[in-house]
Amino acid sequence: MSRWCIGAGLLLTMSVVANTAQAQPLNVLGQLGVLGEWELTADVTATDAARKEFSGPLLMRHVGLCTQDGPEEKKGELRLKLTRASQVEATLVVAGVTCTYQGRKDLNYSGTMRCPGQRDVPLLLWLK
């Protein structure tokens, strides 16, 4: 077997492993609000591994001090796209309202969530 065939076989194997790794589900954790009063969790799976796009159910839980009768919860959907090594874009759909987010990575992804008819809100995300 020629060196080219061995090299091509190794490269193909590495490519398959890399694509499989990209298709792994992501666990998303977040803090939403000026005081981080909302906790965000989502488990997203790849919808397009080549484009690094993910989607899945979202749960937002109000964990601020003003909660009565237990924390308020809102369910929705999170669509996430890793646009660069240090940037993420997301769409959050909760109670029929579609919000957008762009974050840059430092220790976490830090950015602002924008919803129609509402003021912008800080959102921190961690991807695992």
Instruction: Say how far apart CA 60 and CA 71 lie, in whole Å.
Output: 10
The pLDDT of residue 5? 38
Q: Is the pTM of this model over 0.85?
A: no
Is residue 39 within 8 Å of 63, Cβ to Cβ? Answer: yes
CA angle 46, 48, 52 (to 5 degrees): 75
The pLDDT of residue 67? 60
The pLDDT of residue 9? 35
Q: Which helix (H) or strand (E) holds 72?
A: none
List Cα–Cα distances, 104 to 11, 32, 101, in angstroms: 31, 15, 10
Per-residue pLDDT in tens (0 to 9) along the chain, 128 residues: 444 333 333 333 333 333 434 568 999 999 999 999 999 999 999 999 999 999 999 999 998 776 667 778 999 999 999 998 899 999 999 999 999 999 999 889 999 999 999 999 999 999 99
Question: Coil, strand, or helix at residue 116?
Answer: coil
Token couple for 10: 């190794």
Return the CATH number of 25-127, one of 2.30.30.60, 2.40.128.120, 3.40.50.1400, 2.60.120.680. Answer: 2.40.128.120
Per DSSP, helices labelled H in 1-106 are 3-22
